[in-house]
A and B are shown apart, each in its own frame.
Chain A
Amino acid sequence: MKKLIFLLIPAIILSCIVLLTGSTSNLYLLNWGEYIDPSLITEFEAEYNTTVIMEEVGSSEDMYQKIKSDITPYDIAIPGDYMVERMYEEDMLYKIDLTSLANYSSDMFNDDLTNLRKNGFFTDNEEYCIPYFWGAYGLLYTTRKSYVEEVVKTNNWDAILNRDVYGTNKNDVKLAMYSVPRFGTTAYLLDNNKDVNTNKVSDFAGLVTTMKATNYDLWGDDTIKKQIAAGNIDVGLTQLGDFFDQYYLSTSSNEEVQFSYYIPEKTSAFFDAMVIPKTSKNQDLAYDFIDFMLDTDNSFQNTTYVGYSPTLKSVVNKLKEDTEYTDLISNYPFYIDPLQGKDATLFRYIDEMDDGTNYQDFLQGLINQVKA
């Protein structure tokens, strides 16, 4: 027992360290892991004489749960498109006064994205979210096995749903699928010409049989891009940004980049956006942050660090003019122009299937059946 009292001293010292590292002016930021350049945060803190307390999560759902639980007074959150819609519908967001944003102008964002938001997203969304990064869904594939590239480009989504398209290599090729139910089921819907935002149970009719037959080698989230880079998986469904993220990682580790990316003819587009949740206690600082991130130089710095496609036209132009990125852009034009004229839709928030079941539960149930 006496030994335990001994432990009390370091316990108290360490606890004090944790408790006393706080400050008076704080910006609470809820973000994805590795989704902002840390030096930008330091710059923001210096410029506005504040401390940024950032919490990181791995999914939009986590973000929703954290905001809903009302535990931390987040000033800015960066959820994904359909989650923005959900938060809007559940009245969790403050309307953004666009006139207060010095750096904002309505035509500052990529035209494709602006069109998608005007025609395929909820009305008034311009006043509730400011785009951060965007992209499309596609297939990340290895270049270690020479047969893979052609099969992927010829067969589009079938390349991840039907092993037969690989012919004699059907048992050699390693396929991976996203374990987030929404993304996992999207490939099937796109392949069968269904609306990615359908809530009709009948549209999913053949999904379990098809995907069960595929017999995926791996189900995961971030594991997919890591293992494709490592060479353990050959083809996987991922977001466009995952490609560049892994590309930067491999090049900085002096590893050869032995993978590439293909966006099928019909795909889903996505964007993440800055929102001001109603938990915010410091809206002025929140506006400062958005303004800061809309500054071309800051956004450029962020883009080249994170690897996802920039939403600002000014940043795209800057990339085109920067000789350092000329090779990257010519090899991978979808970096600055994700859709390249292809047919795409945004994910909308869907609550229920047409038979009353919860949408998420329904999709998760399908995936569980595939895995069983």
Chain B
Amino acid sequence: MKKFKYLSIPYIVWLFILVVIPLLAMVVLSFMDSDALDLSTAKFSLENWKSLFNTVYLNAFWNSFKIAGISTIVCILIGYPLSYIISTSHLKNKFALIMVLILPMWSNQLLRIIAWEKIFYPISIINNIGLSFDLIGTDFAVIFATVTMYLPFMILPTYTVLEKMDKSYVEASYDLGVSRTRTFFKITLPMSSKGIMSGIIMVFLPASTGFAITERLGGGKIVMIGNIIENFFKRSFNYNMGSMLSLVVIMVIMGAIVLLSKFDKEGETII
């Protein structure tokens, strides 16, 4: 199989053009003070990086990681057991069941957000069935909606891993008299950790960098790092600050992944 190395060359070139160059451009921009992309009037400046520790940004980072973090943990607590129950069950239609759980993902996310707005605003269409909640602007609403939006992303990888897992280890453990709980923690969980890792990444990333859910369900009151980056790129066209903050996000997340991958010896984990 080694001779197929060359198959990767086109892709490497593609990545170079679409990933490396923009990344380098962002690094350069973050150290400058320019008028959008007009480099003729640009000058070198450390002001962008210096402003990183401004309370507004730290606050936004904290909000993002808090909400994304809680959402991710909830997704694990609900998604993993769900995948476990389904994969260890004797149901004949397991895959169909999983598809049913994944299906909401193909509904447009903006429409689903509108639906959540209808549920969380006190006066809305659900009053017709006697219900009313006043939760817009609360962390709860944002986290609840984030979990429902991204839960399928946790279910899919964990189910895939659990389903493909070699059950003989588990059976051997039972045969040796080990309790179900202990087997789970010592065998099943470690063997399926890759799936959980993928799920964490698939949920945490969009949750922390997104802006649509907080904008509409947080009543515009909660400022996340995604909102701030969006404002820099789309409102004030300050590509310098936008690039700087985006780089920080990438670095933090990569750092977290490197840390987590210490728990996974096989490496190259995402899905």
Contact = CB atoms under 8 A, between A and B. Distances in A.
A181 interface: yes
A65 B234 contact: yes
Given A218-B219, A219-B220, A220-B220, A372 B55 contact: yes
A365 interface: yes
A360 B235 contact: yes
Given A218-B219, A218-B220, A61 B235 contact: yes
Given A227-B121, A232-B123, A358 B219 contact: no
B228 A368 contact: yes
A223 B236 contact: no
A232 B56 contact: no
Contacts of A181: 235
A371 interface: yes
Which of A62, A227, A230, A368 has the most C-beta atoms of chain B within 10 angstroms of its own C-beta? A368
A232 B123 CA distance: 6
Contact of B56 (A64, A216, A372): A372
A372 B236 contact: no
Interface in B202-229: 215-216, 219-223, 228
A361 interface: yes
Interface in A142-195: 179-181
A83 B100 CA distance: 48
B219 A219 contact: yes
A181 B215 CA distance: 15
Nearest to A230: B123
Interface string B10-50: 00000000000000000000000000100000000000000
A358 B242 CA distance: 14
> Binding site of B, secondary structure by majority: helix, strand, loop or mixed?
loop
Contacts, number: 67
A127 interface: no
A179 B214 CA distance: 13
Given A361-B236, A369-B56, A217 B137 contact: yes
Contact of A179 (B36, B56, B220): B220
Contacts of A217: 137, 219
Contacts of B69: none
> Binding site of A, secondary structure by majority: helix, strand, loop or mixed?
helix
Contacts of B124: 230, 232
Interface string A215-236: 0111110010001001110000
A351 to B, nearest CB: 9
Which of A219, A231, A361, A372 has the most C-beta atoms of chain B within 10 angstroms of its own C-beta? A372
Interface residues of A, number: 28
Interface string B224-258: 00001001101111100100000000000000000
A364 B236 CA distance: 9
A213 B219 CA distance: 17
Given A219-B221, A223-B216, A372-B223, A365 B56 contact: yes
A219 B220 CA distance: 5
Contacts of B221: 216, 218-219, 371
Contacts of B261: none
A368 B236 contact: no
Contacts of A218: 136-137, 219-221
A364 B228 CA distance: 9
Nearest to B216: A223
B236 A358 contact: yes
Contact of B235 (A220, A364, A369): A364
Interface string A95-117: 00000000000000000000000
Interface of A: 59, 61-62, 64-65, 68, 179-181, 216-220, 223, 227, 230-232, 358, 360-361, 364-365, 368-369, 371-372
Q: Which 9 A-B pairs have the closest CB atoms?
A: A219-B220, A360-B236, A231-B123, A368-B56, A218-B219, A372-B59, A232-B121, A361-B236, A220-B220
25 contacts: A61-B234, A62-B234, A64-B237, A65-B237, A68-B36, A181-B235, A218-B137, A218-B221, A219-B221, A220-B216, A223-B216, A230-B123, A232-B121, A232-B124, A358-B236, A358-B238, A360-B237, A360-B238, A361-B238, A361-B241, A364-B235, A365-B56, A372-B55, A372-B59, A372-B223
Given A62-B234, A361-B236, 19 more contacts: A64-B237, A180-B235, A217-B137, A218-B137, A219-B219, A223-B216, A230-B123, A231-B123, A232-B124, A358-B238, A360-B235, A360-B238, A361-B238, A364-B231, A368-B56, A368-B223, A371-B221, A371-B222, A372-B55
